[in-house]
Structure 1
Amino acid sequence: MKVLVTGFEPFGGERINPSWEALKDLPEEVEGARLIKRRLPVTFRGVRRVLPRLIVEEKPDVVVLTGQAGGRPNVTVERVAINVMDSRTPDNEGFAPEDEPVFEGAPAAYFSTLPVKAIVDALRKAGIPAGVSNTAGTYVCNAAMFTALHTIAVAGMETRAGFVHVPFSHGQVLEKAKPSMSLETIRKAIEVAVRTSLMVR
């Protein structure tokens, strides 16, 4: 068994991205499954280029994508990705699409194939604030989730995939009044999400 777990590079003027910083410290195996850890670029073009290749080449059983949702107070497990790229904030390549599809001719949306509510329940039982989110936005995180699910669908793979958003880490909010979570708690949350995705169908 293999699990592809991804985080993102920093964006929006931040020096770190807690999704990647926490993910780096995950164990090499969870529930007997080998973890493949990768950092994704915060670019619309980049995730659409990198993710399909990763998924097709590695053929993971599970894909757990993670990203930063600064301002959210808890870990949120995304239910759906939509086929839209729309952002007033440019990505790390300076690209700011408006009402563009992630993939032309693809479905309007894909639902996560991870056990969304079971992950939320497991996180709460572990003492980690968590909830279901019904929007991954229209920025690169949503594009990544859509890309992963579309790649899996087109390839006819049985891989399960979804997205988990994490809050700012404590060090990112020293000069701004925003909710935050320790990197250790974020790391634990990602590990719980991976473990639950492997154990619950």
Structure 2
Amino acid sequence: MILLTGFEPFGGESTNPSWQAAQRAAELLRAQGREAVAVEVPCVFGRSIEVLEAALGQVEPEIVLCIGQAGGRERISLERVAINVDDARIPDNAGRRPIDEPVVAAGPAAYFSTLPIKACRETVAGLGIPVEVSQTAGTYVCNHLFYGLMDLLEGRQGTRGGFVHVPFSSEQGAAHGQPGIAVEAMATALAAIATTTAETALDLRITAGAEH
């Protein structure tokens, strides 16, 4: 079973391509004969992890892809690491704005994704879709959920998970004068990431680092 999550709209947007792409990716995966389900999570500190935890209990997935929007980025970003800090530049959808607070009190400083991020990058790049390995998921609700996911999966045998950021949709990008990717292309990439994860036991050892 593959679980995909996407966020509700935030920051004044009327849509969130992470949720649109998650739903479509689940459809694509089911068409391939794989079990997949998509769940929308609130863009709210704390509550987003609670919804994710409930979904994990109901679905019992082997693979979890949490997806969020990173408006302004040009590529689909496979996130490498989640850090244990909430530092919100803007309030979440419930008006919460934590500053320098841990996601999990007494939790480790960081968790790494357990997706084969480099193999996934190569697969998506082979489809002609812009993609990268990212070294930061930010300090907003996306990183919060990513860290929460990895904390929930810690010690849980047989389940791999991680976080993927998608840019603005093509329509949003045009409206904001920013880069954008069609939701269908995002969904194709997400389905490829899920299938690559299912079929890859050991990640590729190739460079995907950054100088800054």
Normalised-by-shorter TM-score class:
over 0.9
Q: Which residue of 1 aligns with 2:96?
A: 95
Distance 1:32 1:170 in 2: 29
Amino acid at match of 1:36: V
Indicate if the aligned counterparts of 2:89 and 2:140 stay in contact, CA closer than 8 A.
Answer: no
Q: Which residue of 2 aligns with 1:77?
A: 78
Q: Which residue of 1 aligns with 2:48?
A: 47
Distance 1:134 1:107 in 2: 17
* Most deviating of 73-82 and 14-23: 14-23
Task: Provide the TM-score with structure 1 as the length reference.
Answer: 0.94
Indicate if the aligned counterparts of 2:174 and 2:180 stay in contact, CA closer than 8 A.
Answer: no
Aligned-pair identity (%): 43
Give ranges in structure 1 of 5+ residues lacking alignment: none
Give ranges in structure 2 of 5+ residues lacking alignment: 202-212
In the TM superposition, residue 183 of structure 1 has moved relative to its aligned partner by 1.2
Secondary structure of 1:197's counterpart equals helix
Distance 1:159 1:56 in 2: 12
Distance 1:186 1:175 in 2: 18
Q: Which residue of 2 aligns with 1:142?
A: 143
Q: Which residue of 2 aligns with 1:6?
A: 5
Distance 2:173 2:198 in 1: 33
Secondary structure of 1:110's counterpart equals strand
In the TM superposition, residue 153 of structure 1 has moved relative to its aligned partner by 0.9
Task: Provide the TM-score with structure 2 as the length reference.
Answer: 0.90
Q: 1:132 to 1:63 in 2, by over 3 A?
A: same
**Residue 171 of structure 2 is aligned to residue 171 of structure 1:** yes
Q: Which residue of 2 aligns with 1:123?
A: 124
Please report the RMSD computed on the Cα atoms of aligned residues, expressed in angstroms.
1.3
Amino acid at match of 2:16: N
* Most deviating of 32-41 and 67-76: 32-41
Amino acid at match of 2:195: R
